[in-house]
Chain A
Amino acid sequence: MISASEFLGPELLTGTDGSRGKHWIRREDGDRLWLVLDKQDVSTNTFDEEVFRELDGLLAQAERGRWKAVVFRSAKRSGFAAGADLAQFRGVSAGVDLKRRVDEANDVIDRVAALAPVTIAVVHGTCVGGGLELALACDRVVAVDDAKFGFPEVLVGLHPGLGGTARLTHRIQPVEAMKLMLTGRTVGAGKAHSLGIVDAVVAERNVSKAVDQAATKRMDRRGSGIAGDAVNLLPARKALARQMRSETEKRAPHKHYPAPHALIELWEKHGGSEREMLHAERASFAHLLPMPVTQNLVRNFFLREKLKASGKGDSGIAHVHVMGGGTMGAGIGGWCALKGMRVTIEDPQVSSLAKAVAETHKLMEHKLDGPDLLRARDRFIPDPRSFGLRHADLVIEAGPEKLELKRSIYQRIEREVRGDAIVATNTSSLDLEVLADSLENPGRFVGIHFFNPVAKLDLVEVVRHKSVDEEAYKKALRFVGDIGKLPLAVKAAPGFLVNRALMPYLGEALLMMSEGEQRERIDAAAEQFGMPVGPVELADQIGLDICVAVADSLAADLGRPMPPVPQWLRDQVARGELGRKTGKGLYNYFEDGTPAKAKVVTPPDHAMRDRLVLPMVDAVAAALDEGVVDDLDSADAAMVFGTGFAPFRGGPMHYARERGVCDIAGALQKLSLTHGERFVPSEWWRKAPK
């Protein structure tokens, strides 16, 4: 016997059956022609030359017929299409061939736009990048209520290149269009409708009727009217472009990230004419794609996919019990509940649990509403007396960093927890091997190390020790994937990867401050290198107490010289000036958390930048050499997504390769002569292929 809803099964997608080609399904429905994308062997539609060539053939055929309407949709559950297959962008060099490929793809989209019958895009699920560009080439866009729209190209160093910049700025209010493209963010169906990207939002069961209405020309365009046209005039564009440039420069300096600026210039110069802009867009796209910055950002996308892949598969974990309701425990538990897990959370202090509840509810209100919000809140259960422990599939210990305390917690866990449950610790500074030894059953014990703030940082280090059970370890990786985070497989070692890499960088900055260097200048040196935030401000963000604790434990355990922790910093911590969280640390902070920064007196030089950045690169190299992390790509991924290491440089090891292994080893050697043993390059540089 099955339930009624199981019997009825999932909702079928209207109109997606017909005669199959390779990637497209063709369906004749009276005087309407449906062209349905169902790319072979993948679960999400992407565009490549094959897909476009097949579409081109179908369009040629359609032009010969006498169709009233041509309807485009996808047969994939995941959504309409995710845009171009980025793999075809890798290793691209400038030249005639690139121009030809861009032209060919654009010609197909232009052919859709030129079709005489009414063209209708029916969009469900994810519709981004090229997928959105195909939809915009249609006369009408009908969205199913779960549809999401966006142009994420700027996040990989590009802008839309299949007509999207021209068509979106002429279909909806241009400033809104530019905002979407400059931020790369996604909007839901409702917002897309109010912006005018979409002309109707319907439930799947009403798609047929909506298509009817559009096909018989009874559906109006939602897009911009007269107001939009005024903004498209040159003087208005110039003024707005200036504003957009200065906003963009703050987050993505022109020097490091050319794409958003190219987009602004594209609209400023050509935004008055859709045809001109289409033409200029192709050239701008072909210009951006082969640039090293773009190639690095595209590579980052694949680094993210690589990390995601290690967490692929369902972990089977549904109930997580968190022990410790402090900042980390609350953040971890709240995130897991947001992502659909049932979470019970305990803490010896009821007041900590209360705070955890308040913060979690704030997070959820920010991300959800209606019944989704109610359900998410109900999944986060404060559990002062630990009733959830014996039901848990996964226990995460997030208590204070004290060995004896953790040992006694593990004893209690082992008495009650289910035999098949995973036991994890969020420890960042205690030795995982020692912790594992204190368990009766160390096989099911792993480290799952989150970063603060949990809701914002996607990287999670999943730490293995000598006696871990492979299945348990895999489950932990999949769990991290299940909650939408990026798992990084690491071996137990002091600082794992990220803390180990960050500490020398932060420590060097503190030493420079002791030497009398202006703190704003130190931060500027790192920011000019491409770090999103300088080391002084970063230390304040992490919390000076935590920095000191991690620095001390690394100094004790790592067996390599580290920059010494200055006494004045210890004194500051003792006084309670812990950084941004207390309003005062290395900087003073305003109410909203921004630091009060003075003007930089003398611009920083390369020597200062090297002194800060190279120890970070060397620490990653040393971790690679010791097998803490599996390979270069994983190390780069971790640093880009875990610390924001200059993304356009592709991560520390890619930077090292591009700059030259010998160059870096030499620079480190030189620094060691003037600044001490801690700069002596690790073994990795000697062994690396030159």
Chain B
Amino acid sequence: MGAGTIAASARSQARPVYVIDGARTPFIKARGRPGPFSPTDLAVQCGRLLLLRQPFAPNSFDHVILGCANQIAGEMNVARVAALRLGCGEEMPAWTVHRNCGSGMQSLDDAFRAVAHSDMDLVLAGGTEALSRAPLILADDATEWLAEFQTATSVGDKVKALSHFELAFLSPEIGLKKGLTDPVSGLSMGHTAEELAHRFGISRWQADDYALESHRRLARAQAEGWLDGEIEPMFAPDGTVYDHDDGVRADSSIETLGKLKPVFEPYGDVTAGNASQVTDGACWMILASDDAVKRHGLKPLARILDSEWAALDPKVMGLGPCLASAPLMTRAGLSLDEIDLWELNEAFAAQVLSCIEAFADAAFCRDVLGLQETVGAIDRARLNIDGGAVSLGHPVGTSGARIVLHLVNALRRTGGRRGIATECIGGGQGGAMLVEIMA
């Protein structure tokens, strides 16, 4: 018996699960030095204003769940540290989730399934990531040397330890670089995007054009105030205010993008301009059962109907969204046309475009997804309508939550009813969620 034959699961919808509210921090680009906020700081910055918006007290939750791919020393189990700092109370259980880029969505999924199964009624779930604070990692032999030095008590032992020192120990590896490389395939995320671009015939120009559009759409959303209420401003201890996603380049042009050199391999097409940015940010959502809605007098915004996880060869992880979202449509009996909006995380422009090609390819849909019919070509006017990770960044543990939150907000704004949020996951996975706006 495999995973596909489990009878009782969230899919059987024991109880409806509602999205009550959500908020995120502005996403701030990592600019070569540690950012002003740790992962927990980010979660607290947007969490505290989100919680003040609610009619119930912060200790009303059953659980707090937070996705985070890079926790830092001093705040292990960011979910619990954030919960305590947000005033949820000493008696608030909390756990932190790691499914790489899927961590933020996994956190929502954990909450979704727990509420659906009547294990919980009111949950605070989301994701946080401070990539600018990703640690420097000493190689194993350097770490061993440090241990030897620190445990040496006598002068003689210390001198002995010093004699074992090698200059190579002074080159710590950048944790981020290591984190973005899959150890089994040996490919970095960028390489997987290059592979897909090649297989699905995505040109450099197409990728750059997609990136340009992402910036244009985000800039427009900012100008129109469409992100007000989704974003709560952050205030750093030194008095700096962060109130908008600062990775956006309204001055981008196809020419400036075209000048950039490939960043992962010579002769490649993936550049810093058409890849997602390295960014800090956090996002929370509040999920509730009918009972919680009644008890606290809440007004749900949407329902999470279904979720799905899929896995595939890490070398082509970028196709994860296709594998994860197709079953959602099948189970719900929905055609492509009935999905009003898509949030497909822009890990790389070429990767997004590859997914679009895959869904439109009859053979792929038949042989890989096992579908009777081709899914179809996703209308670009319904896809990432307010920009995405290329323009606003991809804080790894947060994006999965952000795309669900933004999907709900965008559907409400445009009068849409149903949407799918989906993302590829480093290491070869994909995650997807189907949401429906309340009538």
**A interface, CB within 8 angstroms of B:** 3, 5, 342, 344, 350-351, 353-355, 357-359, 361, 374-375, 377-378, 381-385, 387-388, 391
> Which A residues touch B53, using CB under 8 A?
387
Q: Which of B49, B87, B235 contacts A357 (CB 8 A)?
A: B235
Query: Could you tell me the distance between the alpha carbons of A353 and B236 in the complex, rounded to whole angstroms?
Result: 11
Within 8 A of A (CB), among B34-69: 44, 48-49, 52-53
Q: Is the CB of A355 within 8 A of B52?
A: no
Query: Could you tell me the distance between the alpha carbons of A203 and B52 in the complex, rounded to whole angstroms?
Result: 37
Query: Could you tell me the distance between the alpha carbons of A344 and B48 in the complex, rounded to whole angstroms?
Result: 10
Query: Could you tell me the distance between the alpha carbons of A454 and B258 in the complex, rounded to whole angstroms?
Result: 56
User: B239 contacts the other chain (Cβ, under 8 Å)?
Assistant: yes
Q: Which of A344, A358, A361, A384 contacts B233 (CB 8 A)?
A: A384
Q: Is the CB of B235 within 8 A of A382?
A: yes
Q: Is the CB of B239 within 8 A of A377?
A: no
User: B195 contacts the other chain (Cβ, under 8 Å)?
Assistant: no
Q: Is the CB of A355 within 8 A of B233?
A: no
Q: Which of B49, B236, B240 contacts A387 (CB 8 A)?
A: B49
Within 8 A of A (CB), among B59-99: 85, 87, 90-91
Q: Is the CB of B49 within 8 A of A383?
A: yes
Considering the complex, give the chain A residue whose CB is closest to the CB of B81.
A374
Q: Supply 7 further A-B pairs (C-beta < 8 A) apart from A353-B241, A357-B237, A385-B49.
A: A3-B91, A350-B241, A357-B235, A375-B85, A382-B235, A384-B233, A387-B52
User: B209 contacts the other chain (Cβ, under 8 Å)?
Assistant: no
Q: Is the CB of B233 within 8 A of A383?
A: no
Query: Could you tell me the distance between the alpha carbons of A359 and B238 in the complex, rounded to whole angstroms?
Result: 8
Q: Which of A354, A359, A361, A388 contacts B52 (CB 8 A)?
A: A388
Query: Could you tell me the distance between the alpha carbons of A375 and B40 in the complex, rounded to whole angstroms?
Result: 13
Considering the complex, give the chain B residue whose CB is closest to the CB of A378.
B85
Q: A350-B233, A374-B85, A378-B85 are in contact. Are A358 and B239 (CB under 8 A)?
A: yes
Query: Could you tell me the distance between the alpha carbons of A5 and B91 in the complex, rounded to whole angstroms?
Result: 11
User: B243 contacts the other chain (Cβ, under 8 Å)?
Assistant: yes
A-B contact pairs, 16 of them (CB 8 A): A3-B90, A3-B91, A342-B87, A344-B52, A350-B243, A353-B235, A354-B235, A354-B240, A357-B239, A375-B85, A378-B44, A378-B48, A382-B233, A382-B235, A387-B53, A388-B52
> Which A residues touch B44, using CB under 8 A?
378
Query: Could you tell me the distance between the alpha carbons of A593 and B233 in the complex, rounded to whole angstroms?
Result: 34
Query: Could you tell me the distance between the alpha carbons of A344 and B87 in the complex, rounded to whole angstroms?
Result: 14
Considering the complex, give the chain B residue whose CB is closest to the CB of A379.
B87
Q: Which of A354, A375, A377, A384 has the most CB of B within 10 A?
A: A354
Q: Is the CB of A381 within 8 A of B238?
A: no
Considering the complex, give the chain B residue whose CB is closest to the CB of A384.
B233
> Which B residues touch A342, using CB under 8 A?
87
Within 8 A of A (CB), among B275-294: none
Considering the complex, give the chain B residue whose CB is closest to the CB of A342.
B87
Query: Could you tell me the distance between the alpha carbons of A643 and B91 in the complex, rounded to whole angstroms?
Result: 47
Q: Which of B52, B235, B239, B243 contacts A391 (CB 8 A)?
A: B52
Considering the complex, give the chain B residue whose CB is closest to the CB of A389.
B52
Binary flags per residue of B223-255, CB closer than 8 Å to A gives 1, else 0? 000000000010111111101000000000000
Considering the complex, give the chain A residue whose CB is closest to the CB of B238.
A358
> Which B residues touch A357, using CB under 8 A?
235-237, 239
Query: Could you tell me the distance between the alpha carbons of A355 and B237 in the complex, rounded to whole angstroms?
Result: 9
Binary flags per residue of B121-162, CB closer than 8 Å to A gives 1, else 0? 000000000000000000000000000000000000000000
Query: Could you tell me the distance between the alpha carbons of A595 and B87 in the complex, rounded to whole angstroms?
Result: 46
Nearest chain B CB to A377 CB, angstrom units:
7
Within 8 A of A (CB), among B86-118: 87, 90-91
> Which B residues touch A355, using CB under 8 A?
239
Nearest chain A CB to B187 CB, angstrom units:
40
Q: A3-B90, A374-B85, A378-B44 are in contact. Are A351 and B49 (CB under 8 A)?
A: no
Query: Could you tell me the distance between the alpha carbons of A384 and B229 in the complex, rounded to whole angstroms?
Result: 12
> Which B residues touch A374, using CB under 8 A?
85
> Which B residues touch A354, using CB under 8 A?
235, 239-241
Query: Could you tell me the distance between the alpha carbons of A350 and B239 in the complex, rounded to whole angstroms?
Result: 10
What is the number of residues of chain B that contact chain A, defined by CB distance less than 8 Å? 18
Nearest chain B CB to A307 CB, angstrom units:
32
Considering the complex, give the chain B residue whose CB is closest to the CB of A377.
B237
Q: Is the CB of A381 within 8 A of B85?
A: no
> Which A residues touch B52, using CB under 8 A?
344, 381, 383, 387-388, 391
Query: Could you tell me the distance between the alpha carbons of A344 and B235 in the complex, rounded to whole angstroms?
Result: 13
> Which A residues touch B243, using CB under 8 A?
350
Query: Could you tell me the distance between the alpha carbons of A388 and B236 in the complex, rounded to whole angstroms?
Result: 20
Query: Could you tell me the distance between the alpha carbons of A39 and B44 in the complex, rounded to whole angstroms?
Result: 46
Q: Is the CB of A361 within 8 A of B241?
A: no
Q: Which 10 A-B pairs have the closest CB atoms?
A: A358-B239, A387-B52, A361-B237, A357-B235, A354-B241, A354-B239, A382-B235, A378-B85, A387-B53, A350-B241
Query: Could you tell me the distance between the alpha carbons of A387 and B243 in the complex, rounded to whole angstroms?
Result: 17
Query: Could you tell me the distance between the alpha carbons of A357 and B235 in the complex, rounded to whole angstroms?
Result: 7
Query: Could you tell me the distance between the alpha carbons of A674 and B271 in the complex, rounded to whole angstroms?
Result: 85
> Which B residues touch A350, using CB under 8 A?
233, 241, 243
Q: Which of A350, A378, A391 has the most CB of B within 10 A?
A: A378
> Which A residues touch B237, using CB under 8 A?
357-358, 361, 377
Within 8 A of A (CB), among B148-199: none
Nearest chain A CB to B235 CB, angstrom units:
4
> Which A residues touch B241, using CB under 8 A?
350-351, 353-354
Query: Could you tell me the distance between the alpha carbons of A652 and B119 in the complex, rounded to whole angstroms?
Result: 69
Nearest chain A CB to B41 CB, angstrom units:
9
> Which B residues touch A388, using CB under 8 A?
52
> Which B residues touch A391, using CB under 8 A?
52
> Which B residues touch A3, using CB under 8 A?
90-91
> Which B residues touch A378, using CB under 8 A?
44, 48, 85
Nearest chain B CB to A374 CB, angstrom units:
7
Query: Could you tell me the distance between the alpha carbons of A382 and B238 in the complex, rounded to whole angstroms?
Result: 14
> Which B residues touch A344, using CB under 8 A?
52
> Which B residues touch A351, using CB under 8 A?
241
Query: Could you tell me the distance between the alpha carbons of A547 and B342 in the complex, rounded to whole angstroms?
Result: 61
> Which B residues touch A383, using CB under 8 A?
49, 52
Nearest chain A CB to B363 CB, angstrom units:
52
Query: Could you tell me the distance between the alpha carbons of A685 and B362 in the complex, rounded to whole angstroms?
Result: 103
Nearest chain B CB to A262 CB, angstrom units:
45
Query: Could you tell me the distance between the alpha carbons of A374 and B85 in the complex, rounded to whole angstroms?
Result: 9
Considering the complex, give the chain B residue whose CB is closest to the CB of A5.
B90
> Which B residues touch A358, using CB under 8 A?
237-239
Q: Is the CB of A381 within 8 A of B239?
A: no
Nearest chain A CB to B90 CB, angstrom units:
7
Q: Which of B44, B237, B239 has the most CB of A within 10 A?
A: B239
Query: Could you tell me the distance between the alpha carbons of A391 and B48 in the complex, rounded to whole angstroms?
Result: 13
> Which B residues touch A385, using CB under 8 A?
49
Query: Could you tell me the distance between the alpha carbons of A375 and B81 in the complex, rounded to whole angstroms?
Result: 11
Query: Could you tell me the distance between the alpha carbons of A616 and B238 in the complex, rounded to whole angstroms?
Result: 41
Query: Could you tell me the distance between the alpha carbons of A381 and B53 in the complex, rounded to whole angstroms?
Result: 13
Query: Could you tell me the distance between the alpha carbons of A387 and B233 in the complex, rounded to whole angstroms?
Result: 13
Nearest chain A CB to B44 CB, angstrom units:
6
Query: Could you tell me the distance between the alpha carbons of A510 and B378 in the complex, rounded to whole angstroms?
Result: 77
Q: Which of B87, B237, B238 has the most CB of A within 10 A?
A: B237
Query: Could you tell me the distance between the alpha carbons of A383 and B50 in the complex, rounded to whole angstroms?
Result: 11
Q: Is the CB of A381 within 8 A of B90?
A: no
Considering the complex, give the chain B residue whose CB is closest to the CB of A3.
B91
> Which A residues touch B49, using CB under 8 A?
381, 383, 385, 387
Considering the complex, give the chain B residue whose CB is closest to the CB of A319.
B52
> Which B residues touch A381, using CB under 8 A?
48-49, 52
Query: Could you tell me the distance between the alpha carbons of A113 and B243 in the complex, rounded to whole angstroms?
Result: 65
> Which B residues touch A5, using CB under 8 A?
90
Query: Could you tell me the distance between the alpha carbons of A377 and B85 in the complex, rounded to whole angstroms?
Result: 10
Nearest chain B CB to A276 CB, angstrom units:
47
Nearest chain B CB to A639 CB, angstrom units:
36
Nearest chain B CB to A668 CB, angstrom units:
49
> Which B residues touch A353, using CB under 8 A?
235, 241
Considering the complex, give the chain A residue whose CB is closest to the CB of B239.
A358
Query: Could you tell me the distance between the alpha carbons of A342 and B239 in the complex, rounded to whole angstroms?
Result: 19
Within 8 A of A (CB), among B395-430: none
